[in-house]
Structure 1
Amino acid sequence: MDWPLKQFDVKNAFLHGNLEEEVYMDFPPAYSNGGNTGVCRLYDMIIARDNVDEMSKLQGNHAAEFEMKDLGDLKYFLGVEVARSSKGIFLSQRKYVLDLLKENGMLGCKPVETPIVKKHHLCLNPSQKLVDKGRYQRLVGRLIYLAHTRPNIAYALSVVSQFMHSPNVNHIAAVMHILAYLKSAPGKRSIVWETWAGHVTDRQSTSRYFTFVGGNLVTWRSKKQKAVSWSSVEAEYRGMA
């Protein structure tokens, strides 16, 4: 609807290095939370409103309590780049991807065409050498955050996330394969995979769905089903259910 997007920051929360504790503020006077008591946790803030005067008033109210910094129009927030055009708002995590590749020594790797190998046969295998669990969990966690704008890696992440407590060399190789796929196009976005009886251990299917509002994609998910489907048709019915 072409509403302006403004970004503000609380300056004094970051004057003395990294903040070890969380910052809170009281609820605004007009806010009702059903009679419950509580406070708001403070972040960088994004404000969207159809009334510019009301946005300025809200900024003034915050400035009376905190030292505020006006960051202007929203362009970059928590690893997400924001660009506007006449067609709408474009979200990208290209810089986030490049930083991730650099941190893991993958900037010079050979790109691959898919986020995961077909018929990968990944499973818990006691005979395989284990790898650093902490590093594996941190890396998969960062990739999960990336999936906010990259639904095309959702299926691959649903696979590697199943081995968080006991990752081996095959599992970390699959994660590195995802990074190599991201190298091929850091800003690319595509679709989510689905498979019938694709899990090697339990033969369960993975289904996908997308939610559109006004023709715009707002949510997506790729999830392993809880029961085994005897046919692809049954898997589709379970996915719809």
Structure 2
Amino acid sequence: MFVKRRGEKFTILIVYVDDIVITSNDTYEIADVKQRLASEFEMKELGKLQYFLGIEVSRYSGLLGYRPADSPIEANHKLCGDVGGIDDRLQYQRLVGRLIYLSHTRPDIEYTVGVVSRYMHDPSQPHLDELYIILRYLKVAPEKEVMFTKNNHLGVESYTDDVDWTGCLDDRRSTSGYCTFFAGNLDTW
């Protein structure tokens, strides 16, 4: 991955085997990078990114007018099954699947995605509403990814907590959480 910053403008170029992804907040810079690469290498433009490293890239504009959410899940949520289905179960399942991929680098949504994925077999309107809360949260918090930094130690630290004792209304199971840091970086959660 190559990053170029010039003031407020940035350009990112990612190379994986024979695939190149270019993104920037400046369309002229993207065109310039593509032109320079094409002058040195044989290239084929494939258009907007659809798949990269096995992850599907989707763009939605339907939620742009929604107000942002401060949290990916409502406090003291009481989601449960047996409340009636929704018309488009397949859409719900696709969206949860995409959020599962995203949660690999976003520990802040992992718990919530786990909650909504419990109901993929028979989702209802409250479950779909919770998915929209996650999307509204992602709208306001796009920068909360996992970052790895170089540290001068190789220590391992682990933390655990019972977050919700018998809180699931469906099976009365408890929810607990853990995180492990390696060399000062969040490694598993």
Match of 1:218 in 2: 187
TM normalised by structure 1 equals: 0.48
Check conservation: 1:198, 1:204, Cα contact below 8 A: yes
What is the number of equivalent residue pairs in this alignment? 133
Which runs of 5 or more structure 1 residues have no equivalent in the other structure? 1-5, 12-43, 45-67, 70-76, 80-95, 221-241
Match of 1:148 in 2: 104
The SS at the match of 2:131 is: helix
Check conservation: 1:195, 1:207, Cα contact below 8 A: yes
Residue 123 (str. 1) matches residue 83 (str. 2): no
Q: Deviations over 1:93-112 (max 9, x none)?
A: xxx9xx75x51611221011
Match of 1:202 in 2: 171
For residues 160-175 of structure 1, the aligned pairs below 5 Å read 160-175=116-131
- In 2, the alpha carbon distance for the partners of 1:181 and 1:171 equals 15
Check conservation: 1:131, 1:167, Cα contact below 8 A: no
The SS at the match of 1:108 is: coil
Aligned partner (choices 137, 162, 167) of residue 181 of structure 1: 137
- Structure of higher CA gyration radius: 1
Give the ranges of 4+ consecutive aligned residues of structure 1 lying more than 6 Å apart after TM superposition: none
- Alignment CA distance shift 1:182-1:189 (3 Å): same
- Alignment CA distance shift 1:104-1:199 (3 Å): farther
Q: Deviations over 1:193-217 (max 9, x none)?
A: 9322221122211111112211111
- Alignment CA distance shift 1:216-1:148 (3 Å): same
For residues 1-241 of structure 1, the aligned pairs below 5 Å read 7-10=15-18, 78=52, 102-103=59-60, 105-126=62-83, 128-189=84-145, 194-220=163-189
Question: 1:135: Cα distance to partner?
Answer: 0.6
Instruction: Tell me the C-alpha RMSD between the 2 structures.
Output: 3.2
Which runs of 5 or more structure 2 residues have no equivalent in the other structure? 1-13, 21-41, 44-50, 147-159
The SS at the match of 1:146 is: helix
Percent identical = 43
Q: Deviations over 1:112-167 (max 9, x none)?
A: 111111222111124x3423111111100111111122101111111100000111
Check conservation: 1:211, 1:219, Cα contact below 8 A: yes
TM normalised by structure 2 equals: 0.60
The SS at the match of 1:134 is: helix
Match of 1:93 in 2: none
- In 2, the alpha carbon distance for the partners of 1:188 and 1:10 equals 29
Please tell me the residue identity of whatever aligns with 2:86.
L
- Alignment CA distance shift 1:197-1:189 (3 Å): farther
